[in-house]
Structure 1
Amino acid sequence: MHDIKWIRDNPEAFDAAMAARKQEITAERLMDIDVERRKLMTEHQEMLARRKTISGEIGMLRKKGENADELMAEMGSLKDNIKDAEDGQAALNEQLDLLLSSLPNILDPEVPVGADEEDNVEVNRWGTPGAFDFQPLEHFEIGEKLGMMDFEAAAKLSGSRFVILRGGLAKLERALAQFMLDLHTNEHGYEETITPMLVRDEAMFGTGQLPKFAEDSFKTTNDYWLIPTSEVTLTNQVAGEIIDQAKLPLRYTALTQCFRSEAGSAGRDTRGMIRQHQFSKVEMVSVVEAEKSDEELSRKTRCAETVLERLGLPYRTVILCTGDIGFSACKTYDIEVWLPGQGRYREISSCSNTRDFQARRMNARYRAAGDKKTQFVHTLNGSGLAVGRCLIAVMENYQQADGSIRVPDALKPYMGGLEVINPR
């Protein structure tokens, strides 16, 4: 959400920021609505003051037994005009709020200019893709040969973009999630949290999923939304709150099922688990003071990278360009893991700083000790990691010629002594 006062004070900077996002809106258009809105507010206040004055004058005239018909007529006109001004203000407020809430965040100056994911800039690379003495398979080929990944049975239940995992693969996905949670809570300072997976409109609005991206999410018949990520529930814990600065930073992590309609992904990744309607994800959310959010983004990205390093999975980190960055983010690092079956890097984590963009939508603030004035918090989110995609990466990088999968050392304590997943 944008601050109209900032737009009034910085119209050229706002226009440049929206142009970078390929938005046609201008500060002038927003300010025209704002000027009309504030004009009505002034007129409304003047009419309320006049009504108060007239009321007193009518009382004085009646005490004296004098005629107050003229003032009574003016009072009647004022009543209608006040109602019109209130209705006009409400309509303009709604129009302005809808426009402001539909506009993406202003980008950090470090975000590279680009059209799409091909223009993202690599900033880090770790590990060397392993050499295979056989043709490495993609994860769905491995899973189906193991007899532990069943897309046909899932389709009978739910349609396309669902999967059933069994046996060793089901255990491996559970182990990955437990490993991530333990790492983030024991070493990275996040508080493990269990949150609802059904939320109201205001929670989806708070983190920027509504109103613009309603079609990307699932909604129940009784008006709840299935969360597309626990960023929604973790971040909205501070909605409407004024936090004591001494309690910051707040760092939360959660394992949840996530639900996405994938409305804009027709024809992409139609085979396998890369793009599912339902998937598991360990999320990391931070709530910090304004001046510390840039540092927190670097920290959060390292937390996600550490998961892959402990698992021995090669990856690269890129900063997203202007044409690929998300709606709420001002700066985003994507971590892409190496998939030998595909012969390329694929996104497995996205870590973003939204600065005060979400906080304004949620009215989430903090107050320093001894300070009466409040400030908006800064919020950040990051995948730590997408569990299903991490399962894919382990399967492809640890596959063996006989179709089995070696269990990474970091996961062995979670696998009950199982070191190799063999065909059923």
Structure 2
Amino acid sequence: MHDIRWIRDNPEAFDAALAARGREPLAASLLALDDARKAAVSTLQAAQERRNAASREIGQAMGQKDMARADALKAEVAALKDRMAEAEVTEKAASADLIAALEVIPNLPLADVPVGPDETANVERHRFGTPRVIDGAKEHFELGEALGQMDFEVAAKLSGARFVLLKKHLARMERALAQFMLDLHTDTHGYTEINPPVLVKDAAPYGTGQLPKAAEDMFVTREGLWLTPTAEVTLTNMVAQEIVAEDVLPLRLTAATQCFRSEAGAAGRDTRGMLRQHQFLKVELVSITAPEQSLDEHERMLACAEEVLKRLDLHYRVVTLCTGDMGFSARKTYDIEVWLPGQKAYREISSCSVCGDFQARRMNARYRPKATDNKQPAPQFVHTLNGSGTAVGRALIAVMETYQQDGGAIAVPAVLQPYMGGLTRIEKA
């Protein structure tokens, strides 16, 4: 959510940032809505002040036995009450119009974000390792089905398209990947593990920016609870409506959860295999920081996500997303794209974003700065960050395709072997 006061002070900068996002200028229309809200507030305040003054004058008139004046003032007070009720309705409607306009406007990009319309304008930042050359490399679904441990037909019978049923060692490897990632992030990177619910009320996805813009890409129950598309929703909202002490920042949280997305805009894309599923496992990283910490924390979060792939010895590259490819709530985003030998292509496995105070304003999440010179500063909005640490299903795909052996077996990466009971190789029974 944007600060209308900042927009009023910086209308040209606001519109220029929206233009970088490919959006039309909106400052003038937003300020007109705010002017209407302010006018309604002024009308209400003037009516309240006059009502209070008239009420005092009634007492004076009664004391002076001037009943005619007292009756006239009483009639005026009654009329003012009606006018105040109308002004309250007008003010609420004007405020609602302003919020409705603000809540669908994306975050503004940082100055160093490349400008462009789509992924073709993303800028590569760096790479790790080199692509593995595998003659006749197969894709993950070919390998998994040949092993008899990846079943899309049974999943379709149970749930429909874009679901998968993993069996035996591949099921265990997915679990092993999640455990490995959580252990790395908690033991080495200092994140606190959380096991959150995956059903949330409207306020949670609204706070992180999925609602109202991305409602069509989410699942909702009959009771009106939303299935979380990412643990970002729950972890970030842990500080919603709170004022935290500055000395507890940064808060670093991680969770492995099932995630649910309708993939409404992905018709015809990645229909084979488990790259784009309605339900998938992901390890999420979330940081809550003071404003001056957030950019450094963004670099740190990226390094934490990269370490997962380094320890798995998977080749990847990091790209900075352009303005047209960033998510709604992001100010700047790094994508980690892992190399898939079967596809002979890079595919996103992690997305790390810094959001500034954009989500915090929607959630009313603040921190109390430390007192200076015996003065307690007013609470300020926190900054929020989120990233995949990483997408577990896509990590499974990358491991399968990268570590495939002649005959269709899958070698188990060394870091996963302790989580696999010492198993070094997955083969068909």
Alignment of 1:247-286 (within 5 A): 247-286=248-287
Which ranges of 4 or more aligned residues in structure 1 deviate by more than 3 Å? none
Distance 1:193 1:107 in 2: 30
1:100 alignment partner, one of 90, 102, 121: 102
Give the superposition deviation at 1:173: 0.3
| 1:218-248 deviation line (CA, Å, top 9, x unaligned) | 0000010000000000000000111111111
Distance 2:196 2:388 in 1: 16
Q: Which residue of 1 aligns with 2:163?
A: 162
Distance 1:90 1:25 in 2: 25
Give the superposition deviation at 1:373: 1.1
Kindly indicate whether residue 367 of structure 2 is the aligned counterpart of residue 398 of structure 1: no
Alignment of 1:14-413 (within 5 A): 14-65=14-65, 66-67=67-68, 68-132=70-134, 134-370=135-371, 371-413=376-418
Give the superposition deviation at 1:290: 0.1
Distance 2:117 2:60 in 1: 71
Distance 1:11 1:34 in 2: 13
Give the superposition deviation at 1:24: 2.4
SS for the counterpart of 1:71 is helix
Distance 1:292 1:313 in 2: 30
TM-score, L = length of structure 2: 0.97
Give the superposition deviation at 1:14: 0.4
SS for the counterpart of 1:402 is helix
Distance 2:409 2:426 in 1: 6
Give the superposition deviation at 1:200: 0.4
Give the superposition deviation at 1:25: 4.4
Distance 1:36 1:397 in 2: 60
SS for the counterpart of 1:268 is coil
Distance 2:40 2:92 in 1: 10
2:420 alignment partner, one of 404, 410, 415: 415
Q: Which ranges of structure 1 fall in alignment gaps of 5 or more residues? A: none
The residue type paired with residue 338 of structure 2 is: V
**Deviation larger for 168-177 or 18-27:** 18-27
Q: Which residue of 1 aligns with 2:9?
A: 9
SS for the counterpart of 2:334 is strand
Distance 1:131 1:56 in 2: 88
The residue type paired with residue 6 of structure 2 is: W
Give the superposition deviation at 1:313: 0.3
Aligned pairs, number: 423
Distance 1:284 1:84 in 2: 47
Give the superposition deviation at 1:60: 2.4
Distance 2:219 2:21 in 1: 27
Distance 1:17 1:374 in 2: 27
SS for the counterpart of 1:180 is helix
Distance 2:141 2:116 in 1: 33
Give the superposition deviation at 1:56: 1.5
SS for the counterpart of 1:379 is strand
Distance 1:391 1:416 in 2: 17
SS for the counterpart of 1:219 is coil
| 1:125-175 deviation line (CA, Å, top 9, x unaligned) | 01111122x300000000000000000100111100000000010010000
**Deviation larger for 153-162 or 68-77:** 68-77
Q: Which ranges of structure 2 fall in alignment gaps of 5 or more residues? A: none
Distance 2:130 2:117 in 1: 29
| 1:369-394 deviation line (CA, Å, top 9, x unaligned) | 21231111100000000000000000
SS for the counterpart of 1:218 is coil
The residue type paired with residue 283 of structure 2 is: V
Distance 1:274 1:341 in 2: 13
